[in-house]
Amino acid sequence: MLFSSHAFLFVFLPLVLMSFHLARHFLGGKAALLVVIAASLFFYGYWNPPFLFLLIGSMLINFGFVKILSANPGRLWLAVAITLNLTILGYFKYRNFFLENLMMASEAFAISGTLDPLVVPLAISFFTFQQIALLIDVKEGHAKISNPLDFAAFIALFPQLIAGPIVLFREMREQFADLRAGHYKGLEFIGPGVIVFSLGLFKKVVLADSIAPYADLAFSIPDQLTTLEAWFGAIAYSLQLYFDFSGYSDMAVGLGLMLGLTLPINFKTPFRATSMIDFWKRWHITMTRFFMLYVYSPVALTFARWSQQRNLSQGITFVIAIALPTAFTFLLSGLWHGAAWHFVAFGLINGIGLVLNHAWREAKLPRIPKLLGWLLTILVVIVSFVYFRAENMAAAATILKVMFWSPVLVLPSWLSVIADNFGLPWQSLSFLASGSYTLRLVLWITLAGIISLSSFNFVERSGTLRASWANAILAATALVLSIGLLDRPKAFIYFQF
Active-site residue list: 337
At residue 410, the 3 state secondary structure works out as strand
CA distance 187 to 184: 8
Q: Which residues make Cβ contacts (< 8 Å) with residue 263, sequence separation at least 6?
A: 159, 160, 165, 167, 171, 252, 253, 256
**Residues 465, 191: contact at Cβ < 8 Å?**
yes
Selection from 144, 444, 459 nearest residue 286 by Cα = 459
At residue 213, the 3 state secondary structure works out as helix
CA atoms within 13 A on the CB side of 150: 21
Selection from 175, 90, 180 nearest residue 129 by Cα = 90
What is the residue-wise DSSP string for 287-344?
Answer: HHHHHIIIIIHHHHHHHHHHHHHTT--HHHHHIIIIIHHHHHHHHHHHHHH-SSHHHH
**Residues 199, 476: contact at Cβ < 8 Å?**
no
CA pseudo-torsion sign 78, 84, 90, 93: negative
Cα 411 to its chain centre, rounded Å, is: 36
CA distance 238 to 273: 14
**Residues 163, 131: contact at Cβ < 8 Å?**
no
Helix and strand numbers, DSSP H then E, in the chain: 24, 2
- Using only the alpha carbons of the chain, give its radius of gyration: 24
Helix, strand, coil percent values for the chain (each to nearest 5): 75, 0, 25
At residue 426, the 3 state secondary structure works out as strand
Selection from 78, 83, 167, 79 nearest residue 126 by Cα = 167
At residue 409, the 3 state secondary structure works out as strand
Ramachandran assignment for 58, one of left (phi > 0), alpha (psi -120 to 50 degrees), beta (any other): alpha
At residue 29, the 3 state secondary structure works out as helix
CA distance 269 to 171: 23
